[in-house]
Amino acid sequence: MKTLLMTGVLLALSGAGAVKVGVLLPLSGAGSVSGQAAKNGYQLALDEINRAGGVLGKPLELEFADDGSAPAKAVPEFVKLVTVEKVDFMAGGVSSATSIAISGPAKQYGTFMAWIGAAAVPVEDAFADHPYFFHYHPWSYYNFEAILGYFKYLKTYKKAKNIAIAYEDGPFGSAGIDATVAAFKKAGFNVVLTEKFKTGSGNFGPLVSKAKAAKPDILYWVGYDTDALPLATEIRQQNLQLGLLYGTPPSWPVGFEKNKLADNVAGLSLWLSSSPNKDSRTFVAAYRKKYGTVTDEYFAPLAYVNLKTLAAAINAAGTTDKAKVAAEMAKTNVSTPFGQLTFSPSLKTKYQGFKAGNWLHFQYLGDARVPVFPIKFAQKPMVYGK
């Protein structure tokens, strides 16, 4: 009987006009691991939303577009979704560079943006005066606040004092690098190297040689998943001795945990599938049921939360009117796999979701990502190489 009733709901929904959400993601290129993870999260949420009756008594539809991890491709794809596909809302967004590129047309068309990624401050600048910009991912200064807290712990308990910084040459890595150096110095660290690299180039030989001469305790790199393996390989080949190799890519290479080069590499994540949080366990079970596996990429649950909260706001507003949906989105107060989600002002935008307190630090230990800090969330002791 339950199956028949559910079929009836779906048939009823299919006969009505849909509410359309455009989803712009890096489904190819440097950010594709994050983009594909996010797409899975959106599709899982879409299933649940439409099984529950859709929005406004209509089915919810997603129109996916691939920005190719490239600003030049992101702009026409965004404009097509808004002007040709005539989507009611836009979601997605991983790369800071592509988000900056589409900020002009987004403001030109007054597009409602429920945005999951793009942490760089220039994105915050670009959308500072946009009335319909809801940002879920912490801004980079929230990320750095969490990182600095971890490194201060290492300074106190592991005597980590010297930091080398490697950063990619796009907005994600380069924006705010001077402030990052200043903050480390203010916290009592010696910044012994700052070196820019081109993400995806795989050429880390000269950078690691300079790091080896500088003798850092921590090598802190800001780049993308494509940089993780070449950097770890070069460090092993040159026998660079570190207390910790710490990275902040939005996602990590598929299967990286199985590679011995990943041993003890540390990083930042908003979420791990091992989280005991009730909402996390529910998400993991649903994800495993749909896809037959599980992921540790936080862009999957982030996209899931993104679409579920947008759909809830549309239903609460009783209309697709942007101003009324925004007013309902602003009231969001729900538990999620990351903790409670509410929106409050950031330094420059009106609606910021997750902040510094939502981050976890993990290490690759025993073929898995294991939380190691904050200590109250640690599942194993961290491994420090000095």
Name the maximum alpha-carbon separation found in the chain.
71
> Average pLDDT, stretch 59-65?
98
At 342 the three-state DSSP class reads strand
Residue 290: CB atoms within 10 Å: 13
Rounded to the nearest angstrom, the gap between the alpha carbon of residue 272 and the centroid of all alpha carbons in its chain is: 12
Look up tokens 């903790």; give the residue: 339
Omega of the bond leading into 230 within 30 degrees of 0 (cis): no
> Average pLDDT, stretch 173-196?
93
Name the pLDDT band for 30 (thresholds 50, 70, 90): confident
Q: Quick check: 82 pLDDT over 70?
A: yes
**What per-residue confidence (pLDDT) applies to 11?**
40
> Average pLDDT, stretch 28-35?
90
Name the pLDDT band for 4 (thresholds 50, 70, 90): very low
> Average pLDDT, stretch 170-178?
83
**What per-residue confidence (pLDDT) applies to 16?**
54
Q: Which of 49-58, 80-89, 168-177, 233-242 is the least confident region?
A: 168-177
What percentage of the chain carries pLDDT values higher than 70? Answer: 96
> Average pLDDT, stretch 235-244?
97
Quote the CA–CA distance of 59 and 50 in Å, as a whole number.
6
**DSSP structure string for 131-174:** TTEEE-SPPHHHHHHHHHHHHHHHHHHH---EEEEEEESSHHHH
What percentage of the chain carries pLDDT values higher than 90? Answer: 83
Task: Report the chain's C-alpha Rg in angstroms.
Answer: 21
CA-angle at 346, arms to 342 and 347, nearest 5°: 170
> Average pLDDT, stretch 38-65?
97
Rounded to the nearest angstrom, the gap between the alpha carbon of residue 143 and the centroid of all alpha carbons in its chain is: 11
Q: Quick check: 10 pLDDT over 70?
A: no
- CA-CA-CA-CA torsion sign (90, 80, 122, 267): positive
Residue 262: CB atoms within 10 Å: 21
Q: Quick check: 14 pLDDT over 90?
A: no
**What per-residue confidence (pLDDT) applies to 250?**
84
* Contact between 69 and 27 (Cβ < 8 Å): no
pTM summary value = 0.87
**What per-residue confidence (pLDDT) applies to 31?**
86
**What per-residue confidence (pLDDT) applies to 2?**
39
